[in-house]
Amino acid sequence: MTQANISHQPKLYIDNELIEYDISGSINFPSKNQISTLNVKMSSPDLQFKALLNKDVALYLNSDDSVPVFRGIITSITPSDKETRIIANDSRRLLSGNEGLKIEISDAKNYDNYTLAQFIKKVISEENVDIGIDFLKDTNPTVNLKGVREISDVYKVITDKIKDAIDFSDVTEPLRHFVDMYDDGKKSQIVIKKDLSIKSKPSYNFSFNDGIVSYNYKRRNEPNTVVYEGGSFVFSNTPTGKVTTTIKDTGDVAKNRQVAIKQILLDRQQRDEITLKVSKCYDVALGTIIHLDVDEEDILGNHRIVGKNINFGKSTSCTLRLNKEQPKLSEYLQ
């Protein structure tokens, strides 16, 4: 069996300067659309780190890596008499939360004729936000900001609107879009990605001879009945018993039924919740399709990466989360 902890030589740069102290910590990529977080402990109590709030930070798992596994902005510094701890978020923090860029969209100033990518590009360019847009492309199908009127942080506008971008060209496998960060080796680039079909060719194969350290999983019963205002919809038969979900009322019975059918399709997409500890592909991106070559037939086959956690220091380990999402179509309604 593959060893659980792999030897790396992590390198941390703050404001483009190499940190020479011993470092350890973790990186959490919680889920698609969610901002990733770096936690680092440095073997220095030096109070000069107090001046490094909002400075750029980049972590490389190996000194010869050309692209960091994490790039972001320091949001918190905690010095003590023995060490200094920092927390950093990826660059989407500049668009999110209390300290992120706020926007007012009104009748007087709106983006009704802008697609989502056009909106992101315009705001980032006009406000001179330090996020790259060189690789940004629109969703397919496209969505626009027609009718959006609110005062909020920019990232909330983005993540609310991207929920509308669902490709139902194959009704048995709806494909959604999500916002992610791509590092070109010099800068963090904001990108929009579309889910790959679970049937597409996997990017990596994992087995106990190649990459798998351990795994565990649980299986949800697939919902087969959705109740809506004015009726209900039952998907196929119910061999495991009735498993019911609900949707919000749209105000129209016919539309309720359409939403209900789509909701069942979304809910039934991913029923396995798998945690996979691996010894390779630490830099694999969220949304990637991988293949599990294991004896357990229930989870043998392709899966989608929906979260990731890396621990680093004297040794390095990585845990992938697969197929844990359970989207609600009601959350995709405005």
Residue 231 has a pLDDT of 80
How much is the pLDDT for 89?
Answer: 98
Q: Where are the domains of the chain?
A: 11-90, 95-194, 204-332
Structure tokens belonging to residue 297? 């037939």
Q: Using the Cα atoms of residue 42, residue 46, residue 47 and residue 50 in order, give the sign of their dihedral.
A: negative
Chain mean position to CA 291: 20
Tally of residues, the chain:
334
Cα angle 244, 169, 248; round to 5: 35
Which residues are CB-neighbours of 252 under 8 A, at least 6 positions away? none
Domain 11-90, CATH among 1.10.10.10, 3.20.20.70, 2.30.110.50, 1.10.287.10:
2.30.110.50
User: Hey, is 244 helix, strand or coil?
Assistant: strand
Task: Give me the average pLDDT of each 10-residue run along the chain (334 residues).
Answer: 61 93 96 96 72 92 93 93 92 95 97 98 97 98 96 97 92 90 96 95 97 85 76 68 76 79 65 87 96 90 95 95 60 42
Q: What does DSSP assign to residue 63?
A: T
Give the Cα separation of 332 and 139 in Å (integer): 15
* Beta carbons within 8 Å of 101's beta carbon, 6+ residues apart: 94, 95, 123, 127, 129, 153, 154
Can you give the pLDDT at residue 288?
Answer: 97
pTM score: 0.81
d(CA 142, CA 147): 15
Q: What is the pLDDT of residue 248?
A: 79
How deeply is 85 buried, as exposed, middle or buried, from its count of CB atoms within 10 A (0-12, 13-18, 19+)? middle
